[in-house]
Structure formats: structure tokens, C-alpha cells
Amino acid sequence: QVQLVESGGGLVQTGGSLTLSCAASGFTFSSYAMGWWRQAAGKEREFVSAISRINRTPYYGDSVKGRFTISRDNAKNTLYLQMNNLEPEATAVYFCSAYSGSYYYRLGMVDYWGQGTQVTVSS
């Protein structure tokens, strides 16, 4: 069955960095665009970033542009999110996602979700 397993979350101080990973299985990873979303307590799930399946074009939400970098390794079926200069507003559960289409910014267009990994940024 399809599995997306996130790892790499944790507690970090303001200005610190974390790298999230998402290990995918149960589907043809290279045939899907991949992405990251996050959900802070009491808030709606928010688009963070996506990467296309063919030419690996990255897309970012406005709040993370210039600080986060998405990448993928199709040989390892793994998605990454490098997060730098973290701020307390980045505190959330981060979810890995897979898309068969290309509407990356639409929550309803995600085909598969991971369980999420908690990122907490202390001030």
C-alpha cells in the first residue's frame, strides 16, 4: 500500500535549521509531483512547497520563499525539505504529499498524505 513516512522534525531555536525527509513506497515515486504542507495548531493546512515530477521545478509558498529548499531523489524514493532561518511561526506539523496532477496549491488535489512530523521553533 502507499506509504509516505516523514522524519527529521524536532525542536529548534529561532534562526536554526532542519531538514525533513519523506520516504515513499507503494507507488511509482518518479511519476508523481511531491510536496510539503504544514498545519499549525488551530489553523488550516497551508501549502509550503512542491516539486514537479519531470524537470523538478520547485514551487514555494510566500511565507517560506528564500528560506526553504525542496528537493527529491527519485533513485531513493525520497523527498526533502531543507528549512533555514526558522522562525516560531514555522511551528507546525509538516506533511508530505503526492500529486498525480499539477495543481500543487490546492489541498483537494493531493492524492496521498503522510502522517506528519512535528516541527517546533522556540523563540
Q: How far apart are CA 38 and CA 104, in angstroms?
A: 14
Q: What is the pLDDT along the chain (123 residues), one digit of tens a residue?
A: 999 999 999 999 999 999 999 999 999 999 999 999 999 999 999 999 999 988 899 999 999 999 999 999 999 999 999 999 999 999 999 999 999 988 888 888 999 999 999 999 999
Q: Any idea which residue has 520547485 for its cell?
A: 58
The residue among 104, 70, 98, 105 whose CA lies nearest residue 84 is 70
Q: List strand residue ranges (DSSP E) for 1-123, in order.
A: 3-7, 10-13, 18-25, 33-39, 46-51, 58-60, 68-73, 78-83, 92-99, 112-113, 117-122
Are 80 and 68 in contact by the 8 Å Cβ rule? The answer is no
Instruction: Output Rg (C-alpha) for the chain, integer angstroms.
Output: 13
Q: Any idea which residue has 513516512 for its cell?
A: 5
Q: How far apart are CA 101 and CA 31, in angstroms?
A: 10
User: For the chain, percent helix, then strand, then coil, each to nearest 5?
Assistant: 5, 50, 45
